[in-house]
């Protein structure tokens, strides 16, 4: 049963230098027509693959909060009208610091949104400018304070480390500032240079000065140590929370459970089938006008592919992959299917098998990609 939904809003008021998500500049875009298409996609999908109720909804982008107050109201009503909410639903909106007015916050809160995820990235104003962000550190404080005043208590902050010209000292200062906000959740990601981004072009030209691997590893270790020191437990490679505030939506992905994906460029996983929607707005909206889903790619997973995904997604979690859960899901043990791989990785001290789970070691946390790659069977 599908219990999660991701909704993509591809509009941004500016484009960050590192971002490779499906997005377009907001100005002059057919936002209202897009919302109409989004509503139609939900209707078609829920008629074809219904669910009794959702435990999590995540609205991301792009920048969902770049919409006007009226458009936000309409988006929230579309979601309420067509997606079934379970009691205790985790309902998240991504937001940029500085663009959340009191009116927008009230619309979200009154519509049942109970979690906000702010793209902060750094508290160094010079670094923020260098990576293409338009907000400043002071905007974060104002936005978080305004959100708490409206009634939001579950607030997450995204941080990026290993930024161009960033030092370990600077990252420590960003962490210290972050903890002063008293939020419930953090995501901390190392910068990845993705194709089709401004940073990719600069890196290709050799003019993007990045911290080396040792500096990056030191920042990650600092991130883990400081989070633990301040009472945030690490439950996934890049995610930390106060107890009870783990991201239910992201755990859907790492638990390899089914989820809906609505909107341009969105991905879904339903009944063993992975789908991706068309990204360009016109290509996304045209099939929907003909009462068809805007599917660009569709992959029906083989049993072997399901085994692989269960391992390399589940190993992102600190608790790892439950052996009994794997057996209950697939009728076979990962210790049998992946016997040679597991033995090799245990000998390298990258994973361990204990307490009924297969999980990363401390060393494995730093070399996760090597571990995940090993579980792709030939």
Please give the backbone phi and psi of residue 324, each rounded to the nearest 5 degrees, phi first: -65, -40
Choose one of 254, 286, 316: the last residue of a domain.
Answer: 254
Nearest-angstrom CA–CA distance, 283 and 295: 10
The Cα-based distances of 374 to 72, 187, 307, 346, 368 in angstroms read 44, 25, 13, 12, 10
User: DSSP H helical segments within the chain, as ranges?
Assistant: 31-48, 69-82, 102-110, 125-130, 137-150, 168-179, 198-205, 213-229, 248-254, 281-289, 303-314, 323-330, 334-337, 339-347, 362-366, 368-374
Confidence class for position 378, pLDDT limits 50, 70, 90: low
In eight-state DSSP terms, residue 317 is B
Q: How many domains does the chain have?
A: 2
Summarize the confidence of residues 89-100 as an average pLDDT. Answer: 92
Choose one of 225, 254, 283: the last residue of a domain.
Answer: 254
Same domain for 32 and 130, yes or no, is: yes
Confidence class for position 312, pLDDT limits 50, 70, 90: very high
260 part of a folded domain? no
28 part of a folded domain? yes
Residue bearing the bigger pLDDT, 193 or 219: 219
Reported as a single tens digit per residue, the pLDDT across 154-188 is: 999 999 998 888 899 999 999 999 999 999 999 99
Confidence class for position 61, pLDDT limits 50, 70, 90: confident
Same domain for 105 and 208, yes or no, is: yes
273 part of a folded domain? no
Reported as a single tens digit per residue, the pLDDT across 210-262 is: 778 999 999 999 999 999 999 999 999 999 999 999 999 999 999 999 999 99
Residue bearing the bigger pLDDT, 129 or 25: 129
Nearest-angstrom CA–CA distance, 163 and 30: 34
Q: At 327, which CATH number?
A: 1.10.10
Same domain for 212 and 321, yes or no, is: no
Same domain for 362 and 222, yes or no, is: no
283 part of a folded domain? no
Residue range(s) defining the domain that contains residue 179: 4-254
Question: Do the Cβ atoms of 206 and 155 come closer than 8 Å?
Answer: no
Question: Do the Cβ atoms of 179 and 208 come closer than 8 Å?
Answer: no
How does 151-173 read in b/e, with b if 16+ C-beta sit within 10 Å?
ebebbbbbbbbbbbebeeebbee
Reported as a single tens digit per residue, the pLDDT across 135-149 is: 788 999 999 999 999
pLDDT greater than 90 at residue 348 = yes
Q: Quote the pTM value.
A: 0.93
Q: At 150, which CATH number?
A: 3.80.30.20
263 part of a folded domain? no
Same domain for 234 and 308, yes or no, is: no
Query: How much is the mean pLDDT over the chain?
Result: 91
268 part of a folded domain? no
Query: What pLDDT, on the 0 to 100 scale, is given for residue 27?
Result: 75
């Amino acid at each position: 049963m599908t219990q999660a939904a991701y909704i993509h809003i591809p509009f941004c008021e500016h484009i960050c230098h590192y971002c490779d998500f499906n997005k377009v500049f907001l100005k002059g875009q057919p936002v209202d027509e897009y919302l109409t298409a989004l509503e139609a996609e939900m209707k078609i999908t829920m008629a074809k693959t219904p669910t009794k109720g959702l435990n999590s909804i995540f609205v991301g982008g792009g920048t969902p909060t770049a919409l006007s107050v009226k458009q936000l109201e309409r988006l929230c009503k579309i979601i309420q009208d067509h997606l079934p909410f379970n009691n205790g639903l985790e309902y998240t909106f991504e937001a940029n610091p500085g663009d959340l007015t009191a009116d927008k916050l009230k619309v979200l809160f009154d519509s049942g949104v109970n979690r906000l995820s702010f793209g902060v990235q750094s508290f160094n104003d010079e670094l923020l400018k260098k990576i293409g962000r338009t907000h400043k550190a002071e905007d974060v404080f104002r936005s978080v304070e305004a959100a708490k005043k409206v009634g939001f208590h579950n607030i997450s902050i995204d941080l990026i480390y290993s930024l161009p010209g960033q030092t370990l000292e600077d990252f420590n200062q960003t962490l210290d500032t972050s903890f002063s906000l008293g939020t419930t959740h953090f995501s901390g990601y190392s910068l990845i240079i993705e194709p089709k981004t401004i940073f990719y072009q600069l890196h290709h030209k050799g003019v993007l000065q990045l911290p080396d691997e040792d500096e990056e590893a030191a920042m990650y270790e600092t991130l883990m140590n400081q989070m633990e020191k301040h009472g945030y437990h690490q439950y996934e490679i890049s995610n930390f929370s106060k107890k009870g505030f783990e991201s239910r939506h992201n755990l859907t992905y790492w638990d390899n459970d089914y989820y809906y994906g609505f909107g341009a460029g969105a991905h879904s996983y339903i009944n063993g089938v992975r789908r991706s929607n068309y990204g360009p707005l016109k290509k996304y909206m045209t099939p929907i006008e003909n009462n068809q889903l805007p599917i660009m790619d569709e992959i029906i997973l083989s049993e072997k592919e399901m085994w692989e995904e269960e391992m390399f997604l589940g190993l992102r979690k600190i608790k790892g992959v439950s052996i009994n859960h794997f057996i209950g899901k697939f009728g076979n043990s990962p210790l049998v299917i992946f016997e040679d791989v597991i033995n090799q990785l245990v000998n390298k001290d990258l994973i361990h098998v204990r307490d009924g789970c297969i999980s990363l070691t401390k060393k494995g946390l730093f070399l996760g990609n090597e571990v995940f790659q090993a579980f792709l069977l030939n």
